[in-house]
Amino acid sequence: MVTLFCRQPDPHITTYINAVNGSGYTLGGTEKAGIAAFVKTLKDNSLWGRMKAIYPMAGNTAASQKWNILDARDLDASYRLTYVASPSHTSNGLKGDGATSYTRTHLNMTTDVDYRHAHIGVFVQENNRTGADMGELINAGGSYGSGSFLSSTAGDGNSYGSVGYPPIHSVSSAHNVKSMWLVNRTGNTETFYEDGTLIDTYTLATVGGYGEMYIGAINYGGTADNFCNRTQSFVTIGGDLTATEYTTVYLPAIQALMTAFGRS
């Protein structure tokens, strides 16, 4: 007697694809294959369990782009996105207006993430000088206090990023269009990447933050501030990564997914 074993579909892949397809956008074959390959790569390399929220921003509608691929349920507790003041949605991703619109993640950086072992990152389409791609900071008497923050190209033309610390580090970089930016903290050491290039390393002593992460603005002590009008095509929040894990596994997986979505 021959016993046949049928491989079951990955539930995370199936749930995410069904959520997107049920939201007014139909994923094509290349997009679905890209999603499956992305999830498989993270699981095969023991990265999946370290992630808290990953937003591939699939499709071109508000409903299709709100899902966290790690837990694609329509719940705040699943870190499903909600929008404030109607950011726009295109095939390239999510874009604020630079004035009033932003996106809530419902992910609290002070309770849901260990600041000393964490990363935040964003794939952007443009390099225009404008606000924060994502952030949450304490209002320290009218100035920015501790928190997590990433601006790929700020108003002064520099790039800023930090996890659990005031965003005092400005870096002059290439500011490529269609680029992936990531800040990683392991213990008291932070590394800042543009695509696969390490653009800064710094040592920290303190840790802290305000709370919920916003996209397209900073959650500045409970008030949205420093609005951005770049297009965010992909957002990631999770545990810390080694340089090898990021540059040889996670970054190529993100870039391949963006290619599958026609965004690279």
Q: What are the pLDDT digits (tens) for 99-116?
A: 999 999 999 999 999 999
* d(C-alpha 255, C-alpha 55), whole Å: 14
Residue 168 pLDDT: 54
Most confident of 131-145, 203-217, 218-232: 218-232
**Does the structure show a pLDDT above 60 at 165?**
yes
**Does the structure show a pLDDT above 60 at 197?**
yes
Token pair, residue 107, equals 């992910």
- Dihedral sign computed on CA atoms, order 120, 123, 127, 128: negative
* d(C-alpha 64, C-alpha 35), whole Å: 14
Residue 170 pLDDT: 64
Residue 204 pLDDT: 84
Q: What are the pLDDT digits (tens) for 20-40?
A: 999 999 999 999 999 999 999
Q: What are the pLDDT digits (tens) for 241-264?
A: 999 999 999 999 999 999 999 998
- Dihedral sign computed on CA atoms, order 74, 80, 83, 89: negative
**Does the structure show a pLDDT above 80 at 2?**
no
Q: Comparing C-alpha atoms, which of 201, 191, 193 is closest to residue 173?
A: 193
The pLDDT of 140-156, averaged and rounded, is: 90
Return all residues near 247 (Cβ < 8 A) that are at least 6 apart. 193, 196
Question: What is the DSSP-derived secondary structure letter of residue 63?
Answer: T
Sorting pLDDT into bands at 50, 70 and 90, what band is 145? Answer: confident
Residue type, 147: G
Domain spanning 11-260, CATH architecture: Sandwich (2.60)
Residue 113 zone, left/alpha/beta (φ > 0; ψ -120 to 50; rest): beta
